[in-house]
Structure 1
Amino acid sequence: MKPRIAVLGCGYWGSNHIRTLKSLGALSAVSDANRARAEGFASEHDCRVVDPDDLFEDDEIDAIVLALPPQFHAEYSIRAVQAGKHVLVEKPVALNVADAERAVQAAKDAGRLYMVGHVLRFHPAFEKLKALIDANELGEVRYIHSHRLGLGKFHTENDALWDLAPHDLSMILAITGTAPVEVRGEGAALLDHLSDFAHLHMRFANGLRSHLFASRLNPYRERRLTVVGNKAMAVFDDVEPWERKLAVYRHAVWRDSGQWAFTANEPTYVSVEEGMPLTRELEHFLECVQNGSEPRTSGEEAIEVLRILTAGTVTHD
């Protein structure tokens, strides 16, 4: 039997989890502080409504997806694992490192699965990019930069960095396999005291550098991750159609008579299997719950993402 999953939080992203879990045959219940909202989803997807306070002791639920405002994630994930439920927690998993550490430790103590919703780790184009890097197709990775820009959404608790950057930080950490030794942040607040633009500069022990730019006040959408190696460069551009989402540039750069010379080559577009990242993420979660295996996006990774966000946060009066 498939694990029986409940979704706590029926907002924008919670509704995506609800629809996807229903399509996978694993949706057992929905829950929200706004019961009328939960009842609407329950009626649409033919499942039960459970009040939040009753959810954790419900014997018909094996695991809970937490898609709440981030200030509630740590508290509810601790309640869930202590009640014997596995959890998938949306990003950010907490608003500070200490709360995230408490939640991850609580899951370990309870022997429950704690997975984080870093959904782009399950994007087929990123998976193919990671395979190219692991196969040394790009050579030694020297530089990574990511741009995640667009208009909205605006949150009262999260600035642009905390809302948008976790996706890219998760991918960057997956590529580097280690945490940065230095983080520097810059931000600009135009609407209120929360940054609407954010830059992160990271340095790693092996000399690799990385730069991240996030904005929620940009006139156009950009979803691009660029990896520069000493043999080739690759770009994962999620705004492009599937046949152009992953491009490899085999430019050549060399020294000639003391001067730098280069040859710019046209990109090679890598074939990528089409697939919805959220579906693949939830399939992975179900598999981990069934098999007791370690999730690809673990609590330890989420803690490291929060450490970077904290180090790069710029406060505004």
Structure 2
Amino acid sequence: MTKTRIAVAGAGYIGLAHMGVIQSSPTCMLSAIVDPSPAAVDIAAKAGVPLYRSLDELFGKDRPDGVVLATPNQLHVEHALKCIEAGVPMLLEKPVAPTVEEAETLVKEAERTGAKILIGHHRAHSPIMARAKQLIDEGRLGKLVAVMGSAVFFKPDHYFADAPWRKEPGAGPILLNMIHEVHNLRMLCGDIVAVQAFASQATRGFPVEDTVAINLRFAGGALGTFMLSDTAASARSWEQTSQENKAYATYPDEDCYVIAGTFGSLSVPTMRLKTYGRAEDRSWWKPFDVSVADVTRDDPLKHQIEHFGCVVRGEAEPIVSARDGLQNLRITEAIVEAARTGSIVDTTPV
């Protein structure tokens, strides 16, 4: 089989991660790097691939089968439109755009042209998430009633000292971290149609929030609560519980989501199930059937690049579309608005 040639635009932290999984892929190969920075020269040399300063130069000299766009957020739409114009499929890192307005422009053009776009919500490719979704879709929990989620962790002081923009509006855990959680929750529980939030900056004292309490309403009628903080010393976050990113310490006794229905609950990512086998057994005075669902733990970036290869070759449709990316961004911005105004914000998909 001839390997699918993938170029990576953006040789930063995320771009390097993509390069690593492409180089290890059985079906894809790294064909080029696109980055104007001096540091990219050594990166391309070590990878043994050509370096181009722009997408225009890449498309003119060495057109790949697909491109991973891991460039700064403010360049996402500009670069995605170049790929659409060139007819090159793309894996566009999240967020799909800096603002909902810009994302709407991109989605409109993508749908007009039929462009192949996979949005880089890599947790959508997590075997843990796939197994949790399977259990829910099989009806093991009954009708979904509630979800309790958290992403609480402590970012060290140097995280903010190294990049002071992280202290300012436009950063903060809602815009930097919550977009990951929004897609996970939508994947497991369905569309989010309304949000409400309280935000605080009382701990760090920065102009941007450090802690947020969020209420969610799902299209199917379930309700959710979500606790988000980058200053709470806790392990209840995906990074510290999923065991997928080895850069983080892991605590196998912790969960970041509990999803409850009329027949039972599932804790993720420990995959602990507490269920009733029969309707007549459902009572808080009666014991649950307690089990742990089998699950494979593996790097979702690896699965994402294989799926992208399938999208490029026309073997699959993107499991995270540009419109999905737009809706994730719309909900994330709605949480910001809800916290600012104290109002309930409608997020029904349009």
Which of the five TM-score ranges fits, normalised by the shorter chain?
0.7 to 0.9
Relative to structure 1, the CA distance from residue 251 to residue 3 in structure 2 (aligned partners, 3 Å threshold; closer, same or farther) is same
> 1:94 matched to which residue of 2?
97
The answer as to 2:108 corresponding to 1:85 is no
The answer as to 2:269 corresponding to 1:269 is no
Match of 1:181 among 193, 199, 203: 193
- 2:263–2:279 CA contact under 8 A, matched in 1: no
The answer as to 2:259 corresponding to 1:227 is yes
Across the aligned residues of Structure 1 and Structure 2, the Cα RMSD in angstroms comes to: 2.5
The answer as to 2:311 corresponding to 1:288 is yes
> 2:132 matched to which residue of 1?
129
> 2:322 matched to which residue of 1?
299
Give the number of the structure whose residues are more often strand, by fraction: 1
SS of the residue aligned with 1:262? coil
CA distance in 2, matches of 1:10, 1:279: 18
SS of the residue aligned with 2:192? coil
CA distance in 2, matches of 1:191, 1:12: 28
User: Structure 1 residue 115: deviation in Å?
Assistant: 1.0
TM-score, normalized by length of structure 1? 0.87
CA distance in 1, matches of 2:112, 2:39: 34
TM-score, normalized by length of structure 2? 0.79
> 2:52 matched to which residue of 1?
50
CA distance in 1, matches of 2:317, 2:280: 46
Relative to structure 1, the CA distance from residue 2 to residue 112 in structure 2 (aligned partners, 3 Å threshold; closer, same or farther) is farther
User: Structure 1 residue 56: deviation in Å?
Assistant: 4.3
- Between the aligned residues of both structures, percent identity stands at 26
CA distance in 1, matches of 2:286, 2:277: 5
> 1:161 matched to which residue of 2?
174
Relative to structure 1, the CA distance from residue 307 to residue 292 in structure 2 (aligned partners, 3 Å threshold; closer, same or farther) is same
Deviations 1:157-195 (A, max 9, x none): 432012111222112112233x33321122223352222
- 2:277–2:289 CA contact under 8 A, matched in 1: no
User: Structure 1 residue 312: deviation in Å?
Assistant: 0.8
Deviations 1:122-147 (A, max 9, x none): 11111011011111011111112221
- 2:74–2:97 CA contact under 8 A, matched in 1: yes
Where do 5+ consecutive residues of structure 1 fail to align? Answer: 238-244
Please list, as runs of the form range in 1=range in 2, the aligned pairs for 1:240-279 lying within 5 A after superposition. 245-250=270-275, 261-263=284-286, 265=288, 267-279=290-302
CA distance in 2, matches of 1:66, 1:218: 32
CA distance in 2, matches of 1:31, 1:77: 14
CA distance in 1, matches of 2:184, 2:32: 31
CA distance in 2, matches of 1:253, 1:201: 31
Would you say how many aligned residue pairs link Structure 1 and Structure 2? Answer: 304
Deviations 1:49-69 (A, max 9, x none): 111252344443122111223
CA distance in 2, matches of 1:194, 1:52: 34
SS of the residue aligned with 1:220? coil
SS of the residue aligned with 2:234? strand
User: Structure 1 residue 231: deviation in Å?
Assistant: 0.7
SS of the residue aligned with 2:232? strand
Where do 5+ consecutive residues of structure 2 fail to align? Answer: 239-255, 342-350
